Amino acid sequence: MTLDRQIETSDLECDVAIVGGGIVGATLASALKNSGLKITIIEAQPLEVAAARKQAYAFSLLSSRIYQGIGVWDKIFPHVGKFKRIRLSDADFSQIVKFDKEDLNTDYLGYVAQHNVVLTALQEYIAGCSNINWLCPGSVSNVVYGDKFATVTVEVAGKQQQIKTKLVIGADGSRSYIRSLANITTRGWKYWQSCVAFTIKHTAPQNDIAFERFWSTGPMGVLPLPGNRCQIVWTNPHARAKTLKELDEAAFLQELQHYTGGLLGDLELVSDRVIFPVQLMQCDRYVKSRLALVGDAAHCCHPVGGQGLNLGIRDAATLAQLLIEAHSQGEDIGALQLLKRYESWRKQENLAILGFTDFLDRFFSNNWLPIVIVRRLGLWLMANVKPMKMFALKLMTGLKGKTPKLAVPN
């Protein structure tokens, strides 16, 4: 089944034009299914290509509840890794912080899903929505913002089309063209590190634990996938990350065995090693009149803790809630006053997570003895002082902060 469909001339006016049909853009569109708003999604790649990436992500409890509220989680859940426990450790320090599902009285503490599983489920869900159309593949060449409408110029099959819309959503990633066209500035920095991401198969008897192992070279996240597999994101200084990517498989697995502490038994590499630099970025503003930015177009954080995509999913759920409420009350969904409610809600919460992940990476990625002593004391306190432990756990699972109405309660 092909999901691509061209928009006819009668469809060239809409309420919301979402630029970027990745997970965050598709989540926003799905959340607006029953809103009464007419949605156009503009995606540069054919849908099968956009969904074909093999990368896997951690999904927080809050993200799973948002997808339950949308009505798509039942399609995703059978194909995801599920973890009941989280283990935090500092190199070979004996104190391990242990979080278990009983701490929150939930079935799981989180999930791990591959990109293609989530995006395909969202694409299929959207295919049944009469108020949502794809313009795909299509690339935006210009946007003109007016008092009552924005006009988006899109190139499709070598021809230009114009879409008249009340609201433009930039969901087009960290190098957002929509953001640059709007002259929205960003603040942040690139880290001295890159991440090596890959999938392994292992022989450990259990596959329901997520590990965050901190080393002086950078954190290592180990996330369980179905079939006794794990997605690993291994942060290192740029040169070392490049070396790890280029090592022959036997030497690489030997290094990995050391850094995982033998926790996973015998290891087998079952994917390519992908390397990517990491950065922290926060837009000076998320909105302008007739424009809102979501996901990586608005903010990026270090992958430690697996928070990045979850922030974008919360952006989408929050913005959908506000748009639905505004539309039902006859408000202009592109008005700056309305969009600032979204910015006020999400910008500060995102900034807190950006700061938290930056602190974790800097605090643990060094061998300066006073810092080592302080952080190991911190791990001991987190393991033994329940309020501190619960605060950290709720932050990791998305249960701190304001919850969008779309999320289904536990």
What are 129-152's pLDDT values in tens digits? 899 999 989 999 999 999 999 999
pLDDT at 162 over 90: yes
The answer to whether the beta carbons of residues 171 and 179 sit under 8 Å apart is: no
Q: What is the pLDDT of residue 94?
A: 84
Residue 355 lies in a domain: yes
Chain-centre distance of CA 20, in angstroms? Answer: 14
Give the structural domain span for 39: 9-79+113-187+280-364
Asked if residue 100 has pLDDT above 80, the reply is yes
409 falls in which pLDDT band (50, 70, 90)?
confident
- 214, pLDDT greater than 70: yes
pLDDT tens-place string over residues 305-335: 889 999 999 999 999 999 999 999 999 999 9
Q: Parallel, antiparallel, or unpaired: how do β-strands 39-42 and 132-135 relate? A: parallel
Of 263, 187, 189, give the one whose Cα is nearest residue 232.
Answer: 263
Task: Give the integer Cα–Cα distance in Å for 344 and 329.
Answer: 20
Indicate whether 8 pLDDT > 90: no
The mean predicted confidence, pLDDT, of the chain is 93
With 50 as the cut, is the pLDDT of residue 1 above it? no
pLDDT value of position 7:
42
Query: How confident is the model over 381-391, as a mean pLDDT?
Result: 93
pLDDT digits (tens, 9 = 90+) for 259-299: 998 889 999 999 999 999 999 999 999 999 999 999 999 99
Confidence of residue 158 (pLDDT cuts 50, 70, 90): confident
Residue 258 within a domain = no
pLDDT at residue 6 above 80?
no
Concatenate the DSSP letters of all residues of 243-270 into one string: HHHHS-HHHHHHHHHHHTTTTT-SEEE-
Q: Of 74, 61, 65, nearest to 104 (Cα)?
A: 61
- pLDDT value for 366: 85
152 located within any domain: yes
Q: Residue 158 domain-assigned?
A: yes
Count of structural domains, the chain = 1
Angle between helices 308-328 and 336-364 in degrees, nearest 10: 170
Q: Does residue 256 fall inside a structural domain?
A: no
* Helix 23-31 vs helix 115-127: crossing angle, to nearest 10: 30
Q: What's the CATH number where 20 sits?
A: 3.50.50.60
Residue 72 CA to residue 26 CA, distance in Å, equals: 11
**Burial of 341: CB neighbours in 10 Å, binned 0-12, 13-18, 19+:** middle
What was the pLDDT predicted at 86?
96
Q: Which pLDDT does position 185 carry in this prediction?
A: 97
Residue written as token pair 């809102």? 292
Amino acid at 344: S
98: tokens are: 């242990």
Distance, in Å, from the CA atom of 354 to the CA atom of 66, rounded to the nearest integer, reads 21
Calpha distance 362→62 (Å, rounded): 27
| Any domain includes 20 | yes
d(CA 251, CA 239): 17
147, part of any domain? yes
pLDDT at position 11 over 70: no
* Helix, strand and coil percent figures for the chain, each rounded to 5: 40, 30, 30
Question: For residue range 36-90, what is the model confidence (pLDDT) as tens digits?
Answer: 999 999 999 999 999 998 889 999 999 999 999 999 999 999 999 999 999 999 9
Measured distance CA(78)–CA(165) in Å, rounded: 37
Query: What's the distance, CA 24 to chain centroid?
Result: 7
- Residue 193 domain-assigned? no
